[in-house]
Amino acid sequence: MKRKLLLAALVSVAAASMAHADIKVGVLVSATGPAASLGIPEKNTIALLPKTVAGQKIDYIVLDDGSDTTKAVTDTKKLISEDKVDAIMGSSITPNSLAMVDVVGAAKTPMISMAASEQIIAPMDANRRWVFKVPQNDSLMADAIAAHMSKAGIKTVAFIGFSDAYGEGWWKVFSKSAAANHLKIVDSERFNRTDTSVTGQVLKIISAHPDAVLVAGAGTPSALPEVALREQGYKGTIYQTHGVANNDFLRVGGKDVEGTWLPAGPVLVAAQLPASNPIKKVALDYVKRYEKAYGAGSVSTFGAHAWDAGRLLDNAIPVALKKGKPGTEQFRAALRDALENTKNFVGAHGIFTMTPTNHNGMDQRARVMVKIVNGKWKLEQ
């Protein structure tokens, strides 16, 4: 009798799970190739996301696009047509995310990008309706830097950025912010991620005598111009972008990056945030989970973008479940609507309030100015 009951229970469980298909989330990260330092922590973070939401199991299908735009598009198509995912998280970098916009728009599948450029979500159109973005807009960060410079009495500034989409994007937004804050840009240079020497650019910058230098690069490669500037005896203030906010940058830069200023997501200095800041609790929780799984000091701000993307999705799923079953078009449309209706959602990087025209939804609470002091990130009070 007991055995029969058990069997019946098993059959009914099986039937129930067949009726309610699992929610499938496709995740596309750049875990290899030039953007691997972004993709790897993001991929690690996916493993920490909850496996069930509102009693519904979530399958994460994680693919690596190798930082390659063509592969990102192919993988997105594969996730949509073969795996029939309900939503897509990714990709890690701007060129890939931009290329994916049209694909997800045509398939009416919501996508949350973990790349920074504002172009991914603006200007709003039929395809971008389906696209959301968790990292701060570059313009938000550029404004913070320019405002900080002008407050510190800086009048002239030189720019050196990656000779790729990241550097060009920053050059655009920063030259605008600089003009708004009455800063004069006296020199603009480019360098490559794989350059072994930037002496030429640095000498040109020094001969222009700027009060401050902004280095617009991501990860450890942006330490090179700063080290070279100090080697050639530059004494002014140096600013970096939030692209360098990981501990490897401190390791590679060593004493040469002391005193550097940069804007960053609050998660970078989670422990130093005032207790009144609602972001502190969420950010600390993420840091604790990540370091528990991958070791002390392993956390980076990039992984926190994946955490925010995942939690935004988890927040929207219960609402969408009321409108349709996973795997259907109604469910995906409801998920998109629920994401767009996100209000005052506290993430590790900021507070999201989405609107039909703003699919990022962050404000100035999503940035803090940080200084490198004694080889550590220090929050500006």
Q: What is d(CA 53, CA 321) in angstroms, rounded to the nearest whole number?
A: 10
Q: C-beta of 163: minimal distance to another protein in Å? A: 5
* Cα-based torsion angle of the residue sequence 75, 220, 367, 283 in order, rounded to the nearest 10 degrees: 70
Q: Residue 218, interface with another protein (CB under 8 A)?
A: no
**Closer to another protein at the Cβ: 31 or 279?**
31
Greatest alpha-carbon span in the chain? 90
State the binding string over 249-278 for another protein (x if CB under 8 A, else -). --xx-x------------------------
Q: C-beta of 96: minimal distance to another protein in Å? A: 16
Q: C-beta of 332: minimal distance to another protein in Å? A: 33
Q: C-beta of 220: minimal distance to another protein in Å? A: 5
Q: C-beta of 217: minimal distance to another protein in Å? A: 11
Q: Residue 192, interface with another protein (CB under 8 A)?
A: yes
Q: Residue 200, interface with another protein (CB under 8 A)?
A: yes
Task: Point out which residues pair with 379 in neighbouring strands.
Answer: 370
Q: Residue 207, interface with another protein (CB under 8 A)?
A: yes
Q: What is d(CA 101, CA 351) in angstroms, rounded to the nearest whole number?
A: 24
- Specify the amino acid at residue 327: G
Q: What is d(CA 139, CA 50) in angstroms, rounded to the nearest whole number?
A: 32
Q: Residue 70, interface with another protein (CB under 8 A)?
A: no
DSSP 242: G
* Element (DSSP H or E) covering residue 88: strand 87-90
Q: Residue 224, interface with another protein (CB under 8 A)?
A: yes
Do 92 and 114 touch, CB atoms closer than 8 A? Answer: yes
Q: C-beta of 48: minimal distance to another protein in Å? A: 19
Range in contact with another protein (rule: CB under 8 A) among 20-28, 109-117, 216-224, 329-337: 216-224
Structure-block tokens of residue 241:
């972008």
Strands laid side by side in the 376-379 sheet = 184-191, 156-162, 212-216, 237-240, 261-264, 368-373, 376-379
Q: What is d(CA 289, CA 291) in angstroms, rounded to the nearest whole number?
A: 6
Among 44, 96, 137, 246, binds another protein (CB under 8 A): 246
Among 199, 330, 355, 357, binds another protein (CB under 8 A): 199
Query: Which residues are near another protein by CB under 8 A?
Result: 32, 34, 36-37, 39-40, 160, 163, 189-201, 203-204, 207, 219-221, 223-224, 232, 246, 248, 251-252, 254
